[in-house]
Amino acid sequence: MSNESVPASGASAGVAASEKPLSDGTASDDDVLLRVENLVKHFPVRSSNLKLGGSRDVVHAVDGVSLELRRGETLGLVGETGCGKSTLARCVARLYDITAGRIIFDGRDISRLSARRMRPLRKDIQIIFQDPYGSLNPRRRVGSIIGDPFAIHHIARGAERKQRVQHLMELVGLNPEHYNRFPAEFSGGQRQRIGVARALAFTPKLIICDEPVSALDVSIQAQIINLLSDLQGELGLTYIFIAHDLSVVRHVSNSVAVMYLGKVTEQAPVEAMWAHPRHPYTDALLSAVPIPDPQSADKRERIILAGDVPSPINPPSGCRFHPRCPKAADRCIAEVPELEPKLGDEPTHLAACHFPVEDGEDISKSQPSISANQRVIETGLVAGS
């Protein structure tokens, strides 16, 4: 395949994150492909009492997230629906303008580039969307869908474009002879392969996989995951992998960032996160992951979280997780916890919690020391009642 841009490959391992600025933004470390510093994305929403002098409401979708991603690695982003992970990814791809913060991509500050100046960079940042059905135009032939990037960037025409598209189809395990078929003639897994082929057109430096397997049958999920892994090995790709299935994230990621209500609550190399989850939210998420060994599964208690995720329009004070946290105390309401190493962890293992989970601690029976009134969440329900 003739590529417009070829990513560097084989970078060393390691991802770090912090709520504080990580550097002076010069991105002197050549291994770092992406550096996000204190990224904020707020969406203004119409308030019902605006005419009566009320202020405009704001959805705090992403609030002060910082992270680094090295070339050739995968960062898993996990959290419940509405936690801000997809918004963060879209900000990184500059599909959304950001409210504050900085995005340094491949050594260049792209935080506030205009659409015109971003255009050449679009080849380097691609997204694979969740819904392989909705992301493909059913009236267009697969060959022209996969060939879109070439058409948009005025690269390769006629027979040359067809040859490139068929090469991409082969690369993702599709039959190149199906070039003229429509999306409806493919299975769900094959349609997601079409999405992968389209994203690979210019061998992008960063691919954002936004829940790429959650709309697929379990039997097909493994095929797509393995395809993405194989392509990463072959082409030295760098991924941000968004998912709410932690088993999938563990399988594909070098490191994981857990998000809750617009903030990163914990970030660590994947095995450190599984071995020593420090944030009660991470601990709860991991307790829900099925364990294939029945004996170990019997020993582990599921941590049931109280209530629902509060509204991002009016997030709770202090630690945003406090209305649902089994370990919540007065300090959690008053003070925002810093994202930093806890309990002697490595500098790459960070958690934002005043009372981190200790090794071997079982918080499934823990009770918060704050009153029920202090746990009232946006819906008016008392968490845990």
Q: Which residues bind ligand SF4 (CB under 6 A)?
A: 279-280, 319, 321-322, 325, 327-328, 332, 337, 353-355
What Å distances lie between residue 174 and 180, 193, 235, CA to CA? 12, 7, 18
Nearer to ligand SF4, 129 or 321 (CB): 321
At closest approach, how far in Å is the CB of 303 from ligand SF4? 12
38 or 366: CB nearest ligand SF4? 366
| Least distance to ligand SF4, CB of residue 234, Å | 40
Three-class SS state of 50: helix
Q: How many alpha carbons fall within 13 Å on the CB side of residue 232? A: 23
Closer residue to ligand SF4 (CB): 102 or 279: 279
Looking at the Cβ atoms of 129 and 355, the one nearer to ligand SF4 is 355
Dihedral-angle region of residue 33 (phi above 0 means left; psi in -120 to 50 means alpha; beta otherwise): alpha
CB of 280 to ligand SF4, least distance (A): 5
How far is it, in rounded angstroms, from Cα 42 to Cα 44? 6
Rounded least distance, CB 325 to ligand SF4, Å: 3
Q: Which of these, 295, 265, 261, 262, lies nearest to 277 by C-alpha position?
A: 265
Phi-psi region of 318 (alpha: psi -120 to 50; beta: other; left: phi over 0): left
In whole angstroms, the minimum distance from the beta carbon of 85 to ligand SF4 comes to 18
DSSP classification of residue 80: S
239 and 228 in contact (C-beta within 8 Å)?
yes
Report, in Å, the least distance between residue 337 CB and ligand SF4: 5
Q: Give 332 or 350: the residue with its C-beta nearer to ligand SF4.
A: 332
Rounded (10°) angle between helices 188-199 and 158-171:
120
CB of 76 to ligand SF4, least distance (A): 20
Query: Are 261 and 315 contacting, i.e. CB atoms less than 8 angstroms apart?
Result: yes
176 secondary structure, DSSP code: G
CA distance 200 to 237: 10
H/E stretch holding 165: helix 158-171
What residue has token string 């609030």?
A: 63
Nearer to ligand SF4, 152 or 372 (CB): 372
For ligand SF4, the closer of residues 77 and 353 by Cβ is 353
Q: Please report how close the Cβ of residue 320 comes to ligand SF4 at its closest, in angstroms.
A: 8
Q: How far is the CB of 242 from ligand SF4 (least distance, A)?
A: 22
**Complex with ligand SF4: residue 57 or 80, whichever CB lies closer:** 80
3-state class percentages of the chain: helix first, strand second, coil last, to nearest 5: 30, 20, 50
Q: Which is nearer to ligand SF4, 94 or 322 (CB)?
A: 322
